[in-house]
């Protein structure tokens, strides 16, 4: 597949999609919705979802950690 007009590996595509969906603090880029990320990369939303699934299963990116630091916050504990 191509990423920004150049051939890219599967891992590079997954990392770029993760960066777009999570935002980039270094460049002050806000997180994008899936449809905007798909438009920016020239992919369809189903491909974005496929790569998100791959990011979670294979590369452990975008994974939710139920034992993470935020879950031990007092305010979050009240919501449970």
Q: What is the pTM of this model?
A: 0.70
pLDDT at 12 over 90: yes
Q: How far apart are CA 5 and CA 24, in angstroms?
A: 21
* Domain definitions of the chain by residue range: 2-79
For residue 24, the number of C-alpha atoms closer than 13 Å in the C-beta half-sphere is 9
Instruction: Encode pLDDT of 13-58 as tens digits.
Output: 999 998 898 888 788 889 899 999 999 999 999 999 999 888 888 8
């Amino acid at each position: 597949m191509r990423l920004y007009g150049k051939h890219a590996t599967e891992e590079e595509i997954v990392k770029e999609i993760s960066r777009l969906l999570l935002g980039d603090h270094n460049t002050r880029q806000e997180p994008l919705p899936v449809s905007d990320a798909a438009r920016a990369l020239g992919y369809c939303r189903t491909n974005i979802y496929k790569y998100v699934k791959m990011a979670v299963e294979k590369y452990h990116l975008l994974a939710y950690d139920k034992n993470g630091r935020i879950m031990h916050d007092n305010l979050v504990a009240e919501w449970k």
